[in-house]
Structure formats: structure tokens, C-alpha cells
Structure 1
Amino acid sequence: MTIDMHIWQGRTDPEDGPLSQRWHQHILPADQANDEGILLLGFACDEGVSRNKGRTGAYDAPPAIRKALANLAWHHTDPIYDGGDILCNDGNLEMAQSRLAEDVCHALRQKHKVMVFGGGHEVAWGSFQGIGQYLLQKQHAGNQTCVPRIGIINFDAHFDLRNPPAGPQSERGSSGTPFHQIQRFCERQNWPFHYACFGINRAANTQALYQKADRLGVLYRDDDQLTYAQLPTRVEELTDFIAECDYLYLTIDLDVFPAAVAPGVSAPAARGVPLDIIEALLIPIVEASASDGEKKLLVFDIAEYNPRFDIDNQTARLAARLAWWVARRMR
């Protein structure tokens, strides 16, 4: 784990007074996390994309997103802390995911919300393991008396429900397997598997994956079903899904957006879903509250940003805008 606060740099406007500040003037290192807030974590990893035969480069995503976020205007009330990056530079993806899970679990125990910058979409298995560990600890402590219903909401051009390879590598996941791994985890714990995936590119997902999604009861909608005319119906469907959940885990794979908006990804989308459609669908997620008044959303992560293929940092700016938008509403 490394924390480099030097990356948080940007413009200052002291002549405009205290309301002129930006993220880089407010962000604090995690060792100064005295109050409940939002903890940022980076997952620097290419291993999952490499195993999935994709274009590598996502390892460099976390600092690039931070740089784009640093100069954005501060419109927040809760503190935001930087917990640094987990580095997967030895090919041991499983160990890196385990370290991410520990950090996510620890942050949730400290009453923080968590935001993770990937990395390939293998980040999702690490993030969810952290949520799972946190809720299991609540169960063992007697603070969780019933089976937790975790809503997993993924905006993505792909299901990422692939089965791991057969044979001696059957336990090795990739950027294409995280929600398969999450489903198996839920099955072992006798927890329900509540998975919603919006933005699927049917041309990039086989019939086998659709069949598996149907068998597992996944709520999914293709990219051509996320239009302005159909938006009220999609919002209603997602709202109904959220109502059945106690907690939420939100993950956005940037390849859900059109390639013209998000060129810096492993698998650019020929069609994709417009940003304002995605933002409209994010509203019921970030606004959902449990019966005790706490926001249901525990963890949000951004996956598959690949600086190697970005144009004028526009995908980094998109990732930063999403993080900025969710952070304003996450608590």
C-alpha cells in the first residue's frame, strides 16, 4: 500500500475566498481520518485484463483519475481521505484482491463509505469480498440478525459472469469472472445473489452468458434498451430492485460509455450508453436509504480505465466526473 499525496495538485484562487477551493485543497491522507467520510482506494492492476486476453494498461488508472479529480471544485460536506494504492505487479491477482478486501472491510468498520479506482474489472471481486467480510463480522458480533441482501449494480457492456478456466487454473479469476465469483461467494454463505447489469452489448456477450444470467435471475438491460424514451421504465425497474436490498454495491465499467466519450478503455464500445442516461439511473442508487436512515450504498468503484489508449485525458475526466458526482451524494 502506497499513499502519494503529491499527486493532489491544482489551481488555487485565494482572492475568491474560502468557497473557491478544490479537491486537492481538502483531500487528506487516510492516517488523518478522524471523522466519518469517504475513503478512496486505488487498485493498480492489469493482471485480470491480461488473463481475460484484453488490452492492458489499466494498472496506471488510479493516479490518472486522481490527477483529473484534484482540480475539480469542492462542493462536499463530508471529509474525503486517500488510502493509497494496492499494487498488483507480481501476477498474484488473488493476493491483491484479498488486500483490497481487507482495506474495504476496515474502512466500512470505521463508518466510512468507500470509493475504489481500478484497475480492470477484477476490482469488483476484491471490493465485494470486503463488503462480505464486513457483513459477516456484523453477523458474528450479533449486529446483523438476518441474511443481508446486497444489491450489486453494474453499469457495463459485459456481464463479467464468465466461468474460470477448467483444470489446474480453475480458481484463477480474471476481469471477466468477478460476478461469477461473487455469485459463488453468496451461494456458500446462503445469501441471495441480487445482480443488476445495465448497458449490455449483446454483440459482445455470448448466448451462454445470457443463458447463465437468466438462470441466476440477473436483472439486465441491453444498451439499446437504455434510451431516452425507455428511461422512466428503466428507473422504475432499478428502483424496485433497490427496494429489495439492504445494502448496495455500485460498480461502473467505463466501457459502458460510447467510445467517442470513453476511448481509454480495454474494450471500446461502438454504441454505448450516454452519460446523462447513466446519471439518471444513478440517482435512485445514491439516494436510497435504509430504515435507519443510513444510505444503502456502501462501496462504489470505477473499472477498466486505460490511460494508454486515452485521448486528451477525456476518459480520465469522465471517471473523475463520475467520482465527483457520486461523492456529493454518497453520504
Structure 2
Amino acid sequence: MYNLSNKELWQGRVDSETDSSHFRHFQTINFRNISDSFDEEQHGVGMIGYAVDKGVELNKGRVGAKEGPDAIKKAFANLPVMRDTQIYDYGNVEHDYERLEETQKEFGHYVAQSIQRHNQTFLLGGGHDIAYAQYLGVREAHPDASIGVINIDAHFDTRKEEGSTSGTSFRQILEGDDNANYLVLGVQEGGNTQGLFDYAEERGVGYVYSDELLHQIAPPIKDKVERFMNDHDVIMFTICMDVIDSAFAPGVSANAVLGLFPHIVLEIAKRIIPNEKVSTISIAETNPKYDIDQRTSKLTANFFHHFIL
């Protein structure tokens, strides 16, 4: 179910009502219905919320991530405008179908529309089943392209289930599309069964352990990411907030010990996002129900803030 944005979320400190150099995002945000015609040339950023945690529930995780998109927008609203880029909030999609796959399909269609309209599309989760919905949109927008999926995550999320959950997105992509490949950065050995590592080897999934990303991104890892991007026509980029240590991101569906530092995630992302092949960026698993002082929603909002080109 698609809902227009809650405009009351977009408020914050007013430093000036006339001098744009002191504006914050809530003073410049544009509100649109995704179904409205868009006559302008492709520009700016489209923002769509995936207010869904049914996939987390089906994956036996702790629910609450459906509140993530609004919490992220609220934190994002008060951040200062640093670039002359128009941002369009298209509201949120909620789950009201019998099957999660139907919600993912609906969301994916909206993603495809945003890709056609904007230089960047930011997707706010919600459970990490947002990734399969994101993929559906990328594939709709680029029907013949080779898609490289880059995921910064503690988990492979390649579980085998009867239907969609927050832990199945990337297996669904791999097994349904011979023209898509998968690279995971930040995998924790203690967060994945041996069977998932075996599946990664079987399917040729590239991965980098979290231990390899503690303090810096080594040249071989930079080369691995660059080669992967060069080998594909389109890059679908997603981040799961549970890759970050729980000291910095306690408000997630499955909090991490020995997780990554936020600045490492930001450094990796900034090597990926400027590439013109990247048109969609999703961040999943922000769960306000378990957050402390809005640390996780603020961190997610700041990631999006830094990702604006």
C-alpha cells in the first residue's frame, strides 16, 4: 500500500528563512505522488520509504523496522543543505497484501519510475527484503543490463525459503537472474552458517570479511570492488545497518558485536556511489523500537546526506 509522505516529519531548526546558505533539508524538500507525471528532465534525488518489516518477522527477527523510514526522514530533515540538489519525498510503501512478494513488486515498480526521473534514488528501509524489491525496480528500468549487486552487510542473506523474507533477497536475485552477480562486504564469520558460505562458493559470490575492514580498506579490497563495478552495466547498492557495531547502531533488527565502524562504511560507500552506474541506494534494518537517542536513525540519515551527489 502506497502512502504519501507525512509532511509533519519535515521540520527542524530555522537559521534563516531567506538565506539559502543556512537552509536545512526540511526547508527545501519537495513532496510528490509517485503516480504524478514528471515533466522535468532527469535530475535530483527521489526518496521512497519501505515501511515494511514483515520479512523480518518471517525471518524470525525482531520487528520494528517498519518505523525506520519515518525516523530516518525526521533525522534527515534537520541536516544542513550542502549541495544544490533537489530532493523529492515520495512517501512510503506499507505491506497490506497477503504475500510479501506483492509488496516488493509494487515497491519495485515505484523504484523503476524514480530511476527514470532522478539521478539518484534513495530507498529507506524497513527490512532487508527491500533489496529484492530494489532489484525488481532496477531490472525493470534496465531490462537487458548486467546487474552487479553490492551489499555492505554482516550477513549473506541467501537463505533458502519458500517465499520472501529479510534473509532471502540475494538468493532470489541470483537464482532468478543469470545476468546478475553479488558481492558482500563486511561478512561476519559468526553471523552465517557454513551452508551459507558453501552456497557463496557454489554461486561465485564475492565477499570480504568484516575483520578485513576494521581500520582501513586495503588496496586488494579496493581493486576487488572496482573490478566488480567495471564488470557490470548497472550497480545496485545496498547497506544493512546491522553491519555496524551495536555501539554505533543499536537500533537494528539483529544487532552486531564486532561490527564495522561507521566511517569505514562511509569510506566504502563513497568509492561506489559516485560511479554513474549506481542509480539506487538502499539502507535497511533501521529499527527505532530498539534505538538509543536516535543513534541509528541519525546515522542512517547522515549516510544518505553524504551520498547526495
| Interval of TM-score (by shorter of Structure 1 and Structure 2) | over 0.9
Q: Is contact 2:25–2:76 with CA below 8 Å preserved after alignment?
A: yes
Work out which of the residue numbers 251, 257, 263 in structure 2 matches 1:270: 257
When the two structures are superposed, what TM-score results if normalisation uses the length of structure 2? 0.93
Greater displacement, 315-324 / 238-247:
238-247
In 2, distance between residues paired with 1:305 and 1:270? 16
In 1, distance between residues paired with 2:292 and 2:255? 12
Greater displacement, 46-55 / 109-118:
109-118
Work out which of the residue numbers 125, 136, 142 in structure 2 matches 1:129: 136
**Aligned counterpart, 1:258:** 245
Secondary structure (helix, strand or coil) at the match of 2:3 reads coil
When the two structures are superposed, what TM-score results if normalisation uses the length of structure 1? 0.87
1:40 aligns with 2:47: yes
1:226 aligns with 2:213: yes
Q: Is contact 2:45–2:86 with CA below 8 Å preserved after alignment?
A: yes
Residues 87, 242 of structure 1: alpha-carbon distance in 2 compared, 3 angstrom cutoff: same
**Aligned counterpart, 1:150:** 147
1:300 aligns with 2:291: no
- Residue pairs, 1:277-292, within 5 angstroms: 277-288=264-275
Greater displacement, 315-324 / 86-95:
86-95
Deviations 1:255-281 (A, max 9, x none): 000000000011111111111211221
Q: Report the alpha carbon displacement of residue 91 of structure 1 after superposing the two structures with TM.
A: 5.2
Work out which of the residue numbers 222, 228, 231 in structure 2 matches 1:241: 228
In 2, distance between residues paired with 1:311 and 1:205? 26
Q: Is contact 1:44–1:62 with CA below 8 Å preserved after alignment?
A: yes
Q: Is contact 1:150–1:247 with CA below 8 Å preserved after alignment?
A: yes
Secondary structure (helix, strand or coil) at the match of 2:85 reads coil
Deviations 1:281-318 (A, max 9, x none): 11221122xxxxxx110110010111000000000111
In 1, distance between residues paired with 2:121 and 2:153? 20
In 2, distance between residues paired with 1:229 and 1:248? 23
Output the aligned Cα RMSD.
1.6
Mark the runs of 5 or more structure 1 residues left unpaired by the alignment. Answer: 137-146, 165-169, 289-294
Secondary structure (helix, strand or coil) at the match of 1:287 reads coil
In 2, distance between residues paired with 1:158 and 1:300? 18
In 1, distance between residues paired with 2:223 and 2:233? 18
Work out which of the residue numbers 10, 25, 28 in structure 2 matches 1:26: 28
**Aligned counterpart, 1:7:** 9
Secondary structure (helix, strand or coil) at the match of 2:239 reads strand
Q: Is contact 1:13–1:20 with CA below 8 Å preserved after alignment?
A: yes
Q: Is contact 2:17–2:23 with CA below 8 Å preserved after alignment?
A: no
Q: Report the alpha carbon displacement of residue 236 of structure 1 after superposing the two structures with TM.
A: 2.1
Give the % identical residues: 33
**Aligned counterpart, 1:53:** 60
Mark the runs of 5 or more structure 2 residues left unpaired by the alignment. Answer: none
Secondary structure (helix, strand or coil) at the match of 1:252 reads strand
1:196 aligns with 2:183: yes
In 2, distance between residues paired with 1:223 and 1:178? 20
Secondary structure (helix, strand or coil) at the match of 2:159 reads coil
In 2, distance between residues paired with 1:111 and 1:265? 29
Deviations 1:160-214 (A, max 9, x none): 01111xxxxx2x1100000011112213xxx1x3211011111110111001111
The residue identity in structure 2 corresponding to 1:321 is N
Secondary structure (helix, strand or coil) at the match of 1:132 reads helix
The residue identity in structure 2 corresponding to 1:2 is N
Q: Report the alpha carbon displacement of residue 149 of structure 1 after superposing the two structures with TM.
A: 1.9
1:17 aligns with 2:19: yes
**Aligned counterpart, 2:108:** 101
1:80 aligns with 2:77: no
Aligned length: 302
1:173 aligns with 2:175: no
In 2, distance between residues paired with 1:240 and 1:211? 23
The residue identity in structure 2 corresponding to 1:60 is E
Residues 114, 229 of structure 1: alpha-carbon distance in 2 compared, 3 angstrom cutoff: closer
Q: Is contact 1:258–1:268 with CA below 8 Å preserved after alignment?
A: yes
In 2, distance between residues paired with 1:77 and 1:237? 33
In 2, distance between residues paired with 1:315 and 1:101? 25
**Aligned counterpart, 1:182:** 173
Q: Is contact 1:30–1:39 with CA below 8 Å preserved after alignment?
A: no
In 2, distance between residues paired with 1:17 and 1:230? 39
**Aligned counterpart, 1:140:** none
Residues 307, 225 of structure 1: alpha-carbon distance in 2 compared, 3 angstrom cutoff: same
The residue identity in structure 2 corresponding to 1:254 is M
In 2, distance between residues paired with 1:229 and 1:320? 23
